[in-house]
Amino acid sequence: MKLNIALLAGDGIGPEVIDQAVKVCDAIAKKYDHEISWKPALTGAAAIDAVGEPYPDETHDICASADAVLFGAIGHPRFDNDPSAKVRPEQGLLKMRQKLGLFANVRPTFTFPSLIDKSPLKRDRIEGTDLIILRELTGGIYFGERGRKDDGNTAFDTMTYQRFEIERLARKGFDMAMKRSKKLCCVDKANVLESSRLWRETVQGLEKEYPEVEVSYEFIDAVAMRLIQWPKGYDVIITANLFGDILTDEASVIAGSMGLMPSSSVGSKVSLYEPIHGSYPQAAGKDIANPLATVLSAAMLFEDLELVTEAEEIRRVVNKSLAEGYVTEDLADGGKSFKTSEVGDWLASNI
Amino acid sequence: MKLNIALLAGDGIGPEVIDQAVKVCDAIAKKYDHEISWKPALTGAAAIDAVGEPYPDETHDICASADAVLFGAIGHPRFDNDPSAKVRPEQGLLKMRQKLGLFANVRPTFTFPSLIDKSPLKRDRIEGTDLIILRELTGGIYFGERGRKDDGNTAFDTMTYQRFEIERLARKGFDMAMKRSKKLCCVDKANVLESSRLWRETVQGLEKEYPEVEVSYEFIDAVAMRLIQWPKGYDVIITANLFGDILTDEASVIAGSMGLMPSSSVGSKVSLYEPIHGSYPQAAGKDIANPLATVLSAAMLFEDLELVTEAEEIRRVVNKSLAEGYVTEDLADGGKSFKTSEVGDWLASNI
Ligand SMILES: CC(C)[C@H](C(=O)O)[C@@H](O)C(=O)O
Ligand SMILES: CC(C)[C@H](C(=O)O)[C@@H](O)C(=O)O
């Protein structure tokens, strides 16, 4: 198969972890006889520095015409705590999501047998956790009208949802649930928000099309609690952009390490794959960042292109590196650890 | 001292737990020579049934002229999942907060030595946790404009904040931090929301008035994660209404039981004290609900009225009941347990 993959390394540790994913993908391509043509493009602070824009048109064109996008991380401390900064790296991320129509962020949460004791949660609470949070990614309060009034003394943001946006995401959730344990939980704040009531209405309307799926409706505050108390109670969770932002980060504590959690952002034409960790600027350039989340994101990429064996092979080699302790320092528990690039080389050579 | 306390039992287990708090308060009054005059009033589903309104004017008058309000819980399953219900118990809660001007919800999070192993979190992560979440309670997306457009196919909610609302809450946070470890964390989503940027601006503007307080600014998604990873990293957290709703429930897992966590909702004239657990309808009328959260809320009430010895006495007797296993079934670990009313009697007789 011929694959065109846009490669957005981004900021901080982005370039380093992306490099390892490229090595792994190239090894996969070699083994299974695919041809990957990588199309590097600028994003984030790197793009602001180069062309004054965190998601330049040229980058968009490269992504829009690719089969998939592999993404590192975005964000630079120089822009944080500076309310006056007019252009910010995160804007690039939001613009990219919107322009590419990446409406569904998929974040699987699971545990790794060899890492289960790294979690702040007790083993019996989390062992066997296998859930997916499906976050709406191109609507809600992220993209509604916002601004100031009264000489800047009043600020507002609007959480807006249209029925089709909810339905599109919910259908994806139902479809996923059908392939899994057939349990779907819609998370909202319908006891307060009108947009949540539209969510509930819309999802209720779809229930009859998926009679086998057991649907529940829970409030975001309760789920923020239950997700920690008993994550095994969930299978597929669907939720709005802001609630998903919060829940997906929260869920990452279950696995014990952000350095391992992959994600995809699915659009109707092209999809994007990225680790859930950020640009981690303190570690940038030190060759110490954990590349596994990015490598596992590449596995999701292959899986979505129906290259399931390839995806399984990547997961196998990642598990092998964990089992054999061929890991970066964040996972080494003070024991022997390896550089980012060494882990990448090891993974590629074990494929 | 003469005390007028409005007594809002509410729904579900509300009346049962409130009864125990009354016993405890009466025992305190007797011991320390106070005179409490209880003023019962209707709220929630109980009020809807009686007068068609979840927070009737009469109830408001009773609360507004009291020295403090002791509140049970609100909510009834009959109104859940019924998008057509015009009047809902929760509306009473929101109206009460707004009309009484209860702008700051104070939720302490701490661990009980005898219960630490009930938490889903590992002991070393939580032992010694002592933080307070200060949630803005009368603004934000709870009270902004909301509605439908496009024949009901678009729904919107508005998150609005005015500078004075933020400043009022932030000052309370700074004052609290000064009496504690002098650390304040402002939690927002300033990388996306304009209202969060106003929060950050306003809090930054106050920093110079409190030079001893170390202030940090963190994003809600990161905090949803860090609160579980390392709760001891926080002292006082200030945040908007919706974010606080989510974080306070999430924080309750640290203590291992919602049945123990008290809260206060502070206004400029009168304040309200309530357990953070809900109306728990499944347990209503069974005399099995844990009354300790309500009893500890009464301790916060005394403390705010500067009756510190009285508050300490309540906490002492609660700790004694935990240490001696004189507890309801939720805390009994399959061992001997006591009825709600028995626990109340025991507490009162040990004062
Ligand atoms: C950087 C930020 C705008 C972004 C978001 O809130 O969506 C991030 O937290 C994420 O989850 O990808
Ligand atoms: C019942 C609901 C409206 C309420 C809220 O969201 O404020 C509750 O969750 C709370 O935290 O007191």
Locate the domains of chain A by residue range: 1-102+262-351, 120-255
Average confidence (pLDDT) over A332-336? 88
**Contact A123/B at CB under 8 A:** no
| pLDDT tens profile B147-175 | 999 999 999 999 999 999 999 999 999 99
Q: Is residue A77 predicted with pLDDT exceeding 90?
A: no
Looking at the structure, give the CATH architecture of the domain made up of residues B1-103+260-351: 3-Layer(aba) Sandwich (3.40)
Contact criterion met (CB < 8 Å) for A246 and B258: no
| pLDDT tens profile B171-230 | 999 999 999 999 999 999 998 999 999 999 999 999 999 999 999 999 999 999 999 999
Q: How many CA atoms lie within 13 A of A222 on its CB side?
A: 16
Confidence at residue A87, expressed as pLDDT on a 0 to 100 scale: 86
Identify the burial level of A201 via C-beta atoms within 10 angstroms of its C-beta, where 0-12 means exposed, 13-18 middle and 19 or more buried. Answer: middle
Confidence at residue A79, expressed as pLDDT on a 0 to 100 scale: 79
Q: Which residue minimizes the CA distance to atom 11 of ligand 2?
A: B245
Ligand nearest, relative to CA of residue B276? 2
**Dihedral sign of CA atoms A110, A114, A118, A124 in order:** positive
CATH for the stretch A1-102+262-351 = 3.40.718.10
Provide DSSP, A112-152.
Answer: -GGGGGGSSB-HHHHTT-EEEEEEE-SSGGGTS-EEEEGGG
Q: How many CA atoms lie within 13 A of A97 on its CB side?
A: 20
Q: Which residues contact B290 (CB under 8 A, 6 or more apart)?
A: B17, B257, B259, B260, B277, B327, B328, B330, B331, B340, B343
Q: Which residue minimizes the CA distance to atom 7 of ligand 1?
A: A245
Q: Ligand 1 pocket, B192 CB below 6 A?
A: yes
Q: Answer yes or no: same fold for A1-102+262-351 and A120-255.
A: yes
Closest CA to A112 of A331, A351, A333, A334: A331
Max distance between CA atoms of chain B, in angstroms, equals: 63
For A107, the enclosing helix (H) or strand (E) is strand A102-110
Query: Can you name the residues that pair with A105 across neighbouring β-strands?
Result: A135, A265
The 8-class DSSP code of residue A232 comes to G
Q: Is residue A83 predicted with pLDDT exceeding 80?
A: no
Confidence at residue B81, expressed as pLDDT on a 0 to 100 scale: 63
Confidence at residue A255, expressed as pLDDT on a 0 to 100 scale: 86
Per-residue three-class SS string for B69-111? EEEEECCCHHHCCCCCCCCCHHHHHHHHHHHCCEEEEEEEEEC
Q: Is residue A84 predicted with pLDDT exceeding 90?
A: no
| Averaged confidence pLDDT in chain B | 95
Average confidence (pLDDT) over A142-159? 97
Average confidence (pLDDT) over A125-129? 94
Which backbone phi and psi does A339 adopt, to 5 degrees?
-75, 160
In angstroms, the CA A45 to CA A342 distance is: 27
Written as six digits, the tokens of A207 are 């229930």
Average confidence (pLDDT) over A121-143? 96
In angstroms, the CA B276 to CA B221 distance is: 22
Q: Pinpoint the alpha helices (H) of chain A.
A: 14-32, 44-51, 57-64, 89-99, 123-126, 163-179, 194-206, 220-229, 241-255, 292-304, 308-323, 340-349
Provide DSSP, B307-319.
Answer: -HHHHHHHHHHHH
Contact map slice: A 239-268 vs B, CB within 8 A: 242, 245-250, 252-253, 258
Average confidence (pLDDT) over A136-159? 98
Q: Ligand 1 pocket, A93 CB below 6 A?
A: yes
User: pLDDT-derived band of residue A113, with 50, 70 and 90 as boundaries?
Assistant: confident
CA of A249 to the centre of ligand 1 (A): 10
| pLDDT tens profile B273-329 | 999 998 999 999 999 999 999 999 999 999 999 999 999 999 999 999 999 999 999
Is residue B19 among the annotated active site residues?
no
Confidence at residue A76, expressed as pLDDT on a 0 to 100 scale: 85
Provide DSSP, A157-174.
Answer: EEEEEEHHHHHHHHHHHH
Which residue type sits at A312?
E
Q: Return the ∠ at Cα A241 (arms to A240 and A247), rounded to 5°.
A: 85
Which residue type sits at B176?
M
Contacts from A52-59 at CB under 8 Å and sequence distance 24+? A52/A87, A53/A87, A53/A92, A54/A87, A54/A88, A54/A89, A54/A90, A54/A91, A54/A92, A54/A93, A54/A95, A55/A91, A55/A92, A55/A93, A55/A95, A55/A96, A55/A99, A59/A6, A59/A8, A59/A96
Q: Is residue B113 predicted with pLDDT exceeding 70?
A: yes
CA of B7 to the centre of ligand 2 (A): 19
Distances (CA, A) of A272 to A75, A289, B86: 17, 21, 43
Mutation target to probe the B interface, by most B beta carbons within 10 A, among A246, A254, A258, A279 is A246
In angstroms, the CA B191 to CA A309 distance is: 39
For A156, the enclosing helix (H) or strand (E) is strand A154-162
**Which chain A residue is nearest to residue B77, measuring alpha carbons?**
A191
Average confidence (pLDDT) over A185-197? 96
| pLDDT tens profile A162-173 | 999 999 999 999
Confidence at residue B83, expressed as pLDDT on a 0 to 100 scale: 62
Q: Which residue minimizes the CA distance to atom 5 of ligand 1?
A: A245
Ligand nearest, relative to CA of residue A11? 1
User: pLDDT-derived band of residue A82, with 50, 70 and 90 as boundaries?
Assistant: low
**Contact A215/B at CB under 8 A:** no
**Counting one residue from A and one from B, how many pairs have CB atoms under 8 Å apart?**
171
Q: Is residue B76 predicted with pLDDT exceeding 90?
A: no
Residue A311, classed as helix, strand or coil, is: helix
Confidence at residue A294, expressed as pLDDT on a 0 to 100 scale: 98
Q: Is residue B78 predicted with pLDDT exceeding 90?
A: no
Q: Which residues of A participate in catalysis according to the annotation?
A: 142, 189, 221, 245, 249
Kindly report which listed range (A15-19, A115-119, A177-181, B207-211) carries the lowest average pLDDT score: A115-119
Give the distance from residue B108's alpha carbon to the nearest chain A alpha carbon, in angstroms. 16
Residue B45, classed as helix, strand or coil, is: helix
Confidence at residue A81, expressed as pLDDT on a 0 to 100 scale: 64
Mutation target to probe the B interface, by most B beta carbons within 10 A, among A81, A124, A163, A192 is A192
**Dihedral sign of CA atoms B293, B297, B303, B304 in order:** positive
User: pLDDT-derived band of residue A308, with 50, 70 and 90 as boundaries?
Assistant: very high
Ligand nearest, relative to CA of residue A225? 2
Q: Is residue B85 predicted with pLDDT exceeding 80?
A: no
In angstroms, the CA B276 to CA B263 distance is: 6
Q: Which residues contact B136 (CB under 8 A, 6 or more apart)?
A: B103, B104, B105, B161, B165, B166, B169, B238, B239, B240, B241, B244
Looking at the structure, give the CATH architecture of the domain made up of residues B120-255: 3-Layer(aba) Sandwich (3.40)
